[in-house]
Each structure stands twice: as structure tokens, then as C-alpha cells.
């Protein structure tokens, strides 16, 4: 049976919901399931358990944060007084924050870097000093859902964006080893490329930033993101340029230079290759 977002929604036109769940020892492999059309961002309020996703069985506990993408089969095993917030949202909900969050390494780690066997499954740990504030905001979202007062969706969206921002700013990788894992190195590079997309990056400079050899960087970047580091940088620049074409009075040559393309002809070729039409078409 398909497990879709619709039955969990409070409002059919607002593709978001927060659930508070408790699991004990009885909640185990028999509850394996997947989410067919939504993300589940999990925050552990208390207790501990093993989280199983694919062939990975990882220990989770209070303050841990992880993302379950659409289509992933997962379950909890050996749960010990586990209390969790399940933050559910459709992929389309990413439009509210995706572009602005791209410069945060933890956002890259959660949403854009593939999980790899033998690593901590991209699990983060919240700084304890922010724990009470996160709990307060998630509980407030649940109260708004229950009361359904006018303006509730606006209040929920505001609280969720603040929760997500805190999680991306104030979490660390679950283990010390994760800090030097390839996934974390690549997530830091992704964030840096989004922040400094105008800089004249070379593959050599990217390799130095990640402390990897050029060949290892190419291999790991492609493995974790599906494309090469140079292609990712070009795509990022093109996306920034697309935005400028919509909302700027600058000329196409000026936009190209502003987005890291000193040669406007090269920019136009790459733009057409990426989007299927020339830059000037955006302004018609």
C-alpha cells in the first residue's frame, strides 16, 4: 500500500505536517515502511533506538536530526522510550527555503549529498543550548495544527523555517569521524561554491578546500551528487543568472560577469545547453 502525504495533512493545500510519536520495544522491523511522495525530517526529543534504512543500522538518541527522502524504506529497532518529531513535507515545499539554505553545509548534507554505506547516514546532533527553543517551536506548530485558527498556516511556516535554519546552523555531524568523511567534506564544498560562485574556482582549488586529491574529489563528488564539481559550479552560476534575468535590469553581459562568466558568449551557450533556450528568452 502506498504511503502518501495526503492522510497526514491538516489542510489539503498546505503540504506540511508535524507529528509527535512515541515508540517502545514493541515498535520494530514489522513497522518498516517508506514515504512515497514526501520528505520526513526527524528530530529526536528523548530516548534512543536504532534507525534502519537500507543496509544501514545506526544508533540514534536525544538531539539527533536526520532526513528520510521519498522512496527510502526505513524502520526503528530496539526503541527505548523513543520520542520523536516527524516533520513531513512535499518536495514542492522546498521552494520556501531551498535557494537561501544552499550556503549552509548541514543543509547540503541533509538534502543534496547521497548517503554512503559505512558512514553515519548523514545524522546530525543539535547543540544542546538550542534544544529548548527547537522543542518550543515544534510544540507550537502542533498547537497551531490542532487549533486551526486564522493565520495558522503562516505561523506554522514561520516556525518551521526557523526550526530548519537552527538545525542547519547549530548542528554538528554525529561523530568526530564524520567531520572528515567525504560526505561532510563535499557538503562543505557545496555550501562554499554556492556562497562564492563568482570566484574563479579551479578543480585544484576545490581539491585543496576538501583536502582531497583531484582524482578523489572528482570520484567522490560524482558519487555523492551525481555530477562533476565543475558541472555543479556551472549549474549554480546558471541558476543565479536565471534569477537575475527575471528580477534585474542589468544587461545579459553584465549578468554573465556578475555570475562568474567573464565571456558572455560562453554563458549564452551554457545557458541554452542547460535550459533549452537562450538567456534573452527569459525577458520576453
CATH value at residue 273: 1.10.10.60
Residue 53 within any structural domain of the chain:
yes
Whether residue 74 sits in one domain with residue 161: yes
Whether residue 164 sits in one domain with residue 246: no
Whether residue 163 sits in one domain with residue 77: yes
Whether residue 35 sits in one domain with residue 151: yes
Residue 38 within any structural domain of the chain:
yes
How far apart, in Å, are the Cα atoms of 119 and each of 123, 154, 158, 173? 9, 37, 33, 11
Residue 69 within any structural domain of the chain:
yes
Whether residue 269 sits in one domain with residue 145: no
User: Which residues form the domain of 24?
Assistant: 6-95+128-169
Residue 105 within any structural domain of the chain:
no
Q: Which residue has the cell 514515504?
A: 35
Residue 148 within any structural domain of the chain:
yes
Whether residue 160 sits in one domain with residue 24: yes
Whether residue 276 sits in one domain with residue 140: no
| Cα–Cα distance for residue pair 252/241, rounded to 1 Å | 9
Whether residue 246 sits in one domain with residue 138: no
Whether residue 239 sits in one domain with residue 148: no
CATH of the domain at 162: 2.60.120.10
Whether residue 165 sits in one domain with residue 240: no
Residue 24 within any structural domain of the chain:
yes
Residue 162 within any structural domain of the chain:
yes
Residue 26 within any structural domain of the chain:
yes
Whether residue 80 sits in one domain with residue 10: yes
* pLDDT per residue rounded down to tens, the chain (284 residues): 577 888 888 999 999 999 999 987 766 555 777 888 899 999 999 999 988 887 778 889 999 999 998 888 888 888 899 999 999 999 888 888 888 899 999 999 899 887 654 455 578 999 999 999 999 999 999 999 999 999 999 999 999 999 999 999 999 887 655 556 788 899 999 999 999 999 999 999 999 999 999 999 999 999 999 999 999 999 999 999 999 998 788 999 999 999 999 999 999 999 999 999 999 988 76
Whether residue 153 sits in one domain with residue 257: no
Per the structure, the count of domains in the chain is: 2
Amino acid at each position: 500500500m502506498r504511503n502518501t502525504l495526503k492522510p497526514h495533512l491538516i489542510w489539503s493545500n498546505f503540504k506540511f505536517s508535524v507529528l509527535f510519536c512515541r515508540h517502545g520495544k514493541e515498535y520494530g522491523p514489522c513497522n518498516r515502511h517508506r514515504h512515497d511522495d514526501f520528505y520526513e525530517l526527524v528530530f529526536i526529543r528523548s530516548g534512543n533506538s536504532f534507525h534502519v534504512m537500507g543496509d544501514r543500522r545506526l544508533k540514534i538518541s536525544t538531539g539527533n536530526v536526520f532526513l528520510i527522502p521519498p522512496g527510502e524504506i526505513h524502520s526503528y529497532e530496539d526503541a527505548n522510550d523513543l520520542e520523536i518529531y516527524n516533520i513531513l513535507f512535499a518536495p514542492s515545499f522546498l521552494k520556501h527555503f531551498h535557494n537561501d539554505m544552499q550556503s549552509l553545509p548541514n543543509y547540503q548534507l541533509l538534502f543534496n549529498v547521497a548517503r554512503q554505506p559505512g558512514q553515519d547516514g548523514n545524522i546530525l546532533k543539535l547543540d544542546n543550548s538550542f534544544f529548548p527553543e527547537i522543542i518550543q517551536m515544534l510544540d507550537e506548530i502542533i498547537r497551531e495544527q490542532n487549533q486551526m485558527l486564522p493565520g495558522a498556516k503562516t505561523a506554522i511556516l514561520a516556525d518551521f523555517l526557523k526550526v530548519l535554519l537552527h538545525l542547519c546552523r547549530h548542528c554538528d555531524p554525529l561523530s568526530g569521524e564524520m567531520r572528515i568523511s567525504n560526505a561532510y567534506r563535499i557538503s562543505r564544498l557545496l555550501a562554499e561554491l554556492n556562497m562564492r560562485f563568482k570566484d574563479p574556482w579551479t578543480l585544484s582549488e576545490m581539491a585543496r578546500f576538501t583536502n582531497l586529491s583531484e582524482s578523489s574529489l572528482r570520484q567522490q563528488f560524482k558519487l555523492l551528487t551525481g555530477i562533476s564539481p565543475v558541472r555543479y559550479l556551472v549549474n549554480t552560476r546558471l541558476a543565479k543568472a536565471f534569477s537575475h534575468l527575471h528580477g534585474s535590469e542589468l544587461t545579459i553581459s553584465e549578468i554573465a560577469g556578475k555570475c562568474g562568466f567573464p565571456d558572455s558568449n560562453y554563458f549564452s551557450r551554457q545557458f541554452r545547453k542547460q535550459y533549452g533556450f537562450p538567456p534573452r528568452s527569459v525577458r520576453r
